[in-house]
């Protein structure tokens, strides 16, 4: 009978060791999976936050574009119409002739002014 008792005690001890080891392994696996789940959840939260921030930035950009009208585009000032050299020269000669006719310019002054205009 003594052998039997040792067998039962030995079996009970072996069972206790196996159960303890299984419990420790199970606890370790639970911690491992909990850590993995927490990391995955944290990454998902970060991704969601990044998406929300991107959407908010797009909304802000759209609002700024609507609020601020584009700067006005001004047309360049039209260039002055070039006057024909002949027209300007003709009008100046006519003015000289009028001054000569009115007696403001003498024959000699008229001739000098006319030569000066024609020489350019």
Q: Are residues 57 and 98 in the same domain?
A: no
Q: Which domain holds residue 103?
A: 85-119
- In this structure, of 25-29, 56-60, 97-101, the range with the lowest mean pLDDT score is 25-29
The tokens 């700067």 sit on which residue? Answer: 71
| Any domain includes 75 | no
**pLDDT value, residue 79:** 61
pTM here?
Answer: 0.35
35-55 confidence digits (pLDDT tens): 888 888 888 888 898 899 898
| Any domain includes 80 | no
68-118 confidence digits (pLDDT tens): 666 677 666 666 555 555 578 888 889 989 999 998 889 999 999 889 888
| Any domain includes 27 | yes
Q: Are residues 9 and 43 in the same domain?
A: yes
Cβ atoms within 10 A of the Cβ of 105, count? 18
| Any domain includes 79 | no
Residue partners of 114: CB distance under 8 A and separation at least 6:
93, 96
Token pair in block for residue 85: 């050299």
Q: Are residues 48 and 106 in the same domain?
A: no
């Amino acid at each position: 009978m003594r052998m039997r008792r040792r067998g039962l005690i030995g079996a009970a001890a072996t069972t206790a060791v196996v159960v303890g080891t299984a419990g420790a392994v199970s606890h370790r696996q639970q911690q491992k999976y909990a850590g993995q789940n927490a990391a995955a959840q944290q990454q998902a939260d970060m991704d969601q936050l990044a998406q929300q921030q991107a959407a908010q930035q797009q909304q802000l950009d759209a609002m700024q574009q609507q609020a601020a009208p584009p700067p006005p585009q001004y047309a360049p000032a039209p260039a002055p119409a070039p006057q024909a050299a002949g027209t300007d020269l003709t009008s100046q000669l006519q003015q000289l002739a009028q001054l000569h006719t009115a007696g403001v310019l003498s024959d000699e002054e008229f001739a000098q002014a006319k030569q000066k205009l024609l020489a350019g």
